[in-house]
């Protein structure tokens, strides 16, 4: 009897040993959760394709360690996302989750993930609370704080000397944030602020109102298909020729295929564009176009940058992501291999970005794309980092 027990104990310890041995060999599991269906699906698909491009370029490894990517569709629904996160953490035991397209989803899963001390690498959504008071050592944004693309437009409008602006956005939080971000840098006269219902597809009434107000320029925030509608109708009203249209979230590689030449001349702001001039960005654009046969959007670039960041940080801790302090420090160091040149983080774990202004124009291959026209904000820090108590 005692013999048997001893044997069992021995067998048990051997099993434990092999288990630890096997653990070193098993890949690091990374949960990739974003919106892959519905209206925001194109955006999430680009995030995912960009991320996977980097993984494939590294032969399925990040930082020299094999990775297993668990792809999940949150359907843009916070409740669905919460369940997925629970599954990823409790059942799959992932040490890292990345992706997250929507700010609504981000706000729902941010606490459940970071409180479990799982690292969250956001590759799109960057709502203001998590850049400010709710900042966490376990969260890193490989994207940008939500206000950035509005702030750069505001600065551009101020630089251009526009005196009178009409602003228009859908009547919800992101719309109001965009107009606030714009006004942080634009101090001129706002002739009108128009808010439209989020589900309103036709802007004829608002466009007539804009034309009647006769401003120097128009600032519009309309994500996704709303932007397609607005730009088309603005162009059809003949205003694009006479009244500069500054936008956030309107023109990118997910909407331009539906707009084509009707959008020529529209101005947009981003931290990155297909013609951003650095070696990493150029090789990324070439590889992405070759693999997916379309121009990458900034969302794809963010996905790619998330993978590059993980690549650098995992290499630095030699694959031991279980050492949380060391892994946090490795992530915080950023990376010199990024589509933005260098990815460096502020105290709140949001990047310090250069912000560009783009005009919709034909590229060298004659396709409708984005062309850099200015860089109003250099090494820009978001407006919330001072509220974050992390150093």
Partner 1 sequence: MSWPLFFAQLLNGFQLGVLLFLLSAGLTLVLGIMNFVNLAHGSLYMMGAYFAAATFGATGSFLAAAVVAIPATLLLGLFLERLVLARLYARDHLYQVLATFGLILIMNEVVRGVWGQAPIFMNVPDALSSTVNLFGLPYPSYRFAIIVVGLLVGAALYLVIHRTRVGMLIRAGASDAPMVAALGVNIKLVNAMVFGVGAGLAGVAGLVAAPILSVQPGMGEPILILTLVVIVTGGVGSIRGAFYGALIVGIVDTIGRAFLPTLLREIFERSVAQAAGPAIASMLIYLLMATVLAVRPQGLFPVKHG
Near partner 1 by CB under 8 A, which window of 9-17, 97-105, 127-135, 226-234? 226-234
CB closer to partner 1, 105 vs 121: 105
Contacts of 260 (CB under 8 A, 6+ apart): 368
Q: How far is the CB of 226 from partner 1 (least distance, A)?
A: 8
Near partner 1 by CB under 8 A, which window of 112-120, 198-206, 284-292, 378-386? 198-206
- Kindly tell me which residue out of 26, 204, 336, 342 binds partner 1, with binding defined by CB under 8 A: 204
Q: How far is the CB of 51 from partner 1 (least distance, A)?
A: 18
- Kindly tell me which residue out of 197, 293, 325, 365 binds partner 1, with binding defined by CB under 8 A: 197
- Kindly tell me which residue out of 236, 320, 342, 389 binds partner 1, with binding defined by CB under 8 A: 236
Decide: is 64 part of the binding site for partner 1 (CB under 8 A).
Answer: no
* 84: helix, strand or coil: helix
C-alpha 172/C-alpha 154 separation (Å) is: 20
CB closer to partner 1, 41 vs 148: 41
Task: Give yes or no for a contact between 259 and 232, defined as CB atoms under 8 angstroms apart.
Answer: yes
- Kindly tell me which residue out of 194, 301, 310, 339 binds partner 1, with binding defined by CB under 8 A: 194
Near partner 1 by CB under 8 A, which window of 250-258, 277-285, 309-317, 330-338? 250-258
Query: What distances in angstroms separate CA 8 from CA 4, 18, 42, 62, one per listed residue?
Result: 6, 15, 54, 39
Provide the 10 A C-beta neighbour count for residue 365: 8
Decide: is 212 part of the binding site for partner 1 (CB under 8 A).
Answer: yes
The span from the first CA to the last CA of the chain, in angstroms, equals: 59
Decide: is 37 part of the binding site for partner 1 (CB under 8 A).
Answer: yes
Closest of 108, 84, 80, 107 to residue 97, by C-alpha: 84
Near partner 1 by CB under 8 A, which window of 34-42, 101-109, 115-123, 267-275? 34-42
Please classify residue 264 by burial: count the beta carbons closer than 10 Å to its beta carbon, then call 0-12 exposed, 13-18 middle and 19+ buried: middle
Decide: is 257 part of the binding site for partner 1 (CB under 8 A).
Answer: yes
Count of residues engaged in binding partner 1, rule: CB under 8 A: 39
- Kindly tell me which residue out of 232, 282, 291, 316 binds partner 1, with binding defined by CB under 8 A: 232
Q: How far is the CB of 57 from partner 1 (least distance, A)?
A: 25
Contacts of 100 (CB under 8 A, 6+ apart): 33, 34, 74, 81, 106, 109, 120, 122, 123, 124, 125
* 109: helix, strand or coil: helix
Decide: is 362 part of the binding site for partner 1 (CB under 8 A).
Answer: no
CB closer to partner 1, 254 vs 338: 254
Q: How far is the CB of 287 from partner 1 (least distance, A)?
A: 21
Task: Output phi, psi for 366, to 5 deg.
Answer: 80, 5
Contacts of 334 (CB under 8 A, 6+ apart): 309, 312, 342, 343, 344, 345, 351
Question: x/- binding map, residues 145-184, to partner 1, per CB under 8 A?
Answer: --------------------------x-------------
Task: Give yes or no for a contact between 34 and 44, defined as CB atoms under 8 angstroms apart.
Answer: yes
C-alpha 83/C-alpha 112 separation (Å) is: 10
Question: x/- binding map, residues 281-320, to partner 1, per CB under 8 A?
Answer: ----------------------------------------
Q: How far is the CB of 199 from partner 1 (least distance, A)?
A: 5
Closest of 177, 178, 128, 176 to residue 153, by C-alpha: 178
Beta strands 164-170 and 217-221 are parallel
- Kindly tell me which residue out of 193, 216, 289, 354 binds partner 1, with binding defined by CB under 8 A: 193
Cα–Cα–Cα angle for 22, 23, 26, rounded to 5 degrees: 85
- Kindly tell me which residue out of 18, 208, 342, 389 binds partner 1, with binding defined by CB under 8 A: 208
Q: Positive or negative, the Cα torsion across 20, 26, 28, 31? A: negative
Q: How far is the CB of 200 from partner 1 (least distance, A)?
A: 7
Decide: is 238 part of the binding site for partner 1 (CB under 8 A).
Answer: yes
Binding site for partner 1 (CB under 8 A): 37-39, 41-42, 45, 171, 193-197, 199-202, 204-206, 208-209, 211-212, 225, 228-229, 232-233, 236-239, 254-255, 257-260, 262
């Amino acid at each position: 009897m005692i013999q048997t027990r001893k044997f069992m104990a021995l067998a048990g310890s051997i099993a434990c040993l092999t288990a630890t041995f096997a653990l070193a060999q098993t890949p690091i599991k990374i949960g990739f959760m974003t919106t892959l269906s519905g209206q925001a699906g194109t955006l999430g698909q680009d995030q995912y394709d960009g991320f996977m491009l980097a993984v494939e370029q590294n032969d399925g490894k990040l930082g020299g360690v094999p990775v297993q990517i668990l792809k999940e569709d949150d359907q843009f629904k916070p409740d669905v996302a919460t369940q997925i996160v629970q599954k990823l953490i409790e059942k799959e035991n992932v040490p890292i989750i990345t992706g997250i397209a929507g700010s609504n989803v981000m706000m729902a899963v941010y606490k459940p993930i970071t409180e479990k001390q799982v690292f969250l690498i956001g590759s799109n959504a960057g709502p203001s609370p998590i850049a400010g008071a709710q900042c966490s050592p376990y969260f890193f944004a490989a994207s940008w704080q939500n206000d950035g693309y509005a702030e750069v437009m505001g600065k551009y409008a101020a630089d251009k000397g526009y005196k009178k602006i009409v602003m228009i956005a859908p009547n919800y939080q992101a719309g109001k944030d965009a107009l606030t971000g714009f006004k942080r840098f634009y101090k001129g006269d706002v002739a009108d602020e128009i808010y439209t219902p989020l589900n309103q597809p036709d802007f004829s009434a608002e466009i007539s109102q804009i034309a009647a107000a006769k401003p120097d320029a128009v600032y519009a925030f309309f994500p996704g298909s709303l932007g397609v509608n607005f730009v088309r109708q603005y162009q059809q009203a003949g205003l694009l020729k006479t009244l500069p249209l500054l936008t956030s979230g309107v023109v990118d590689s997910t909407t331009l295929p539906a707009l084509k030449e009707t959008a020529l001349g529209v101005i947009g702001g981003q931290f990155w564009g297909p013609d951003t001039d650095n070696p990493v960005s150029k090789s990324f654009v070439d590889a992405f176009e070759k693999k997916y046969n379309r121009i990458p959007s900034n969302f794809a670039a963010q996905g790619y940058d998330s993978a590059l960041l993980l690549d650098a940080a995992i290499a630095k801790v030699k694959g031991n992501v279980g050492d949380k302090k060391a892994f946090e420090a490795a992530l915080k160091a950023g990376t010199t291999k990024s589509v933005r040149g260098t990815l460096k983080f502020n105290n709140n774990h949001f990047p310090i970005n250069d912000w560009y202004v783009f005009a919709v124009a034909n590229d060298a291959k004659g396709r409708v794309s984005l062309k850099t026209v200015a860089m109003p904000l250099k090494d820009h820090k978001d407006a919330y980092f001072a509220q974050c108590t992390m150093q």
